[in-house]
Structure 1
Amino acid sequence: MPRTHATVEAAVRVLELFDADHSEWTLSELARHLGQPTSTLHEQLGTLAAAGLLVRVGRGRYRLGWRLLKLSSALYGSLPWYAPAHDAMERLARGTHLLAFLCVLHSHTDEHSQILCVARSVQGRDGPPVAGELDFELPAHATASGKLLLALAGRPLPRPAPAFTPQTLTTPEAWAAETRAIRTGGYALSRDEWASGTSGLAVPLRGEGGTVLAALGLSLPTARLGSSDGLLRALHGAAAEVGWTLGHRGQK
């Protein structure tokens, strides 16, 4: 790996450790977690702080810097679909009392695709925790949003395709049947495929010309799948509202 690439990858690994549960880290904590010498990591943290991507707070602790907010705002502002989709996601969460989210397909190559959760609802949800509440990258073959986006993009089963539970799809034959069902039905369902007791539903968000922009999904306890018809109607209704705003006028 070229040195510049390795340096950027190292910085990304540091930044990704900051989340809602770990909003601050010390140098020693990060070094232990990453298995790196404190001398090496100290230089990385200094560089990130100088760039405004991190900020040093009391007693040698670090947290994310404000410059990331500027970059985030620029990214979301460049996506015309994001604002109406985010509003629809929040309304869906309030109406169903479930965790709602938006996911996108990020592809390095046809063989290497990532499912990134770019937004989650912050209100309207009750009930027990479900798998993936804080994850940014989701398993493409074991989640409703992942299966939906891969199937609609005509992508093969990812390799490797680890079995998280006995219900996880891990064979090309099972994936081919699942793809046909998703493309025919216009939605994806996962049932105990990532974690036992957690299931999901997802539908596509389409823009002008029928282009698939993202997946709008719900994560729910498997016990609530008995009401999946009503949840699907809510998902399709929310997706149709977004599509209409973006110029999509029908199925494709």
Structure 2
Amino acid sequence: MTRTHATVEAAVRVLELFDADRTEWTLSGLARHLGQPTSTVHEQLQTLSASGLLVRVGRGRYRLGWRLLKLSSALYGSLPWYAPAHDAMERLARGTHLLSFLCILHGDQVLCVARSVQGRDGPPVAGELDFELPAHATASGKLLLALARRPLPAAATPFTGQTLIHPLDWDTETRTIRTRGHALSQDEWAVGTSGLAVPVRGESGVVLAALGLSLPTARMHAHESLLRALHTAAAEVGWTLGNRG
């Protein structure tokens, strides 16, 4: 690894530690968490702050900087499907009172790029704040991997007794997903949390993202009506993007 690559990787590790649960870090806290000397982390923070990616607030405390908002706006603006899919996600949340989200397949990772909690009622569900989701244990992950014809991930962690961790079971599940055009998960990531997901397709039927709902397992009795709502929303987005399949 070159020095430049190592420097960029170190900066990314620092930025990824900031999330909705931990919006601020101190220099000493970051150094302890990363297991690095304070002087090394201080240099990284100085560089990130100078570039606007971090901002110093108060004595030795740091938050994400506004420049990240500019970069994220540019990213979303470069994706023609994002705006209509995001609108559909918001409508689903309001109509179902559930956590709705958009996920993409990035290499071997399933990333939750947007979520909405508007109008949601009921108890919390697993993964409300996670950016990277376990691909083999979530509805969106299983859907995206199945449609991409990917095998069971090598490090398939058994989160619960319902998690799929055997290749033969995975093959059966993914064939079913491709036939039905949607994916379900039930108590596979966390007991008490289930999920539903359908593909968002663009022109020529290419899979762009997964549109999903996360819900308490107790509400899975209504999964058929929720799937209809998901399929309708995804079809509307696809039509906007030129998918006439």
2: CA distance, partners of 1:229 / 1:212:
22
| Aligned mate of 1:138, from 115, 130, 133 | 133
In structure 2, the partner of 1:79 is 79
The question of 1:102 aligning with 2:81 is answered no
Q: What TM-score results when the alignment is normalised by the length of structure 2?
A: 0.98
Worse-superposed segment, 224-233 or 23-32: 23-32
In structure 1, the partner of 2:228 is 233
3-state secondary structure, aligned to 2:124: coil
Shift of 1:3: 2.7
Does the CA contact (< 8 Å) of 2:144 and 2:210 recur in 1? yes
The question of 1:184 aligning with 2:187 is answered no
In structure 1, the partner of 2:53 is 53
Amino acid of the structure 2 residue aligned with 1:128? P
Which of structure 1's runs of 4+ aligned residues deviate more than 3 A? none
Query: How big is each residue's C-alpha offset from its partner over 1:30-68, in whole Å with a ceiling of 9 and x where there is no partner?
Result: 112222211110011011111111011111211111111
The percent identity for this pair of structures is: 83
2: CA distance, partners of 1:90 / 1:10:
35
In structure 1, the partner of 2:215 is 220
Query: Which structure 2 segments of 5+ residues have no match?
Result: none
Shift of 1:154: 0.8
In the TM superposition, 1:22-37 aligns within 5 A as: 22-37=22-37
CA-based RMSD? 0.9
Query: Which structure 1 segments of 5+ residues have no match?
Result: 108-112
In the TM superposition, 1:122-161 aligns within 5 A as: 122-161=117-156
Q: How many residues align?
A: 245
1: CA distance, partners of 2:3 / 2:195:
41
Shift of 1:249: 1.0
Worse-superposed segment, 233-242 or 27-36: 27-36
Does the CA contact (< 8 Å) of 2:98 and 2:117 recur in 1? no
In structure 2, the partner of 1:70 is 70
3-state secondary structure, aligned to 1:223: helix
2: CA distance, partners of 1:79 / 1:89:
16
1: CA distance, partners of 2:228 / 2:57:
47
1: CA distance, partners of 2:99 / 2:117:
8
Query: How big is each residue's C-alpha offset from its partner over 1:113-138, in whole Å with a ceiling of 9 and x where there is no partner?
Result: 00000000031211111100000000
In structure 2, the partner of 1:42 is 42
Amino acid of the structure 2 residue aligned with 1:218? L
1: CA distance, partners of 2:162 / 2:211:
23
3-state secondary structure, aligned to 2:59: helix
The question of 1:8 aligning with 2:3 is answered no
Shift of 1:240: 0.7
Worse-superposed segment, 21-30 or 134-143: 21-30
Shift of 1:6: 2.1
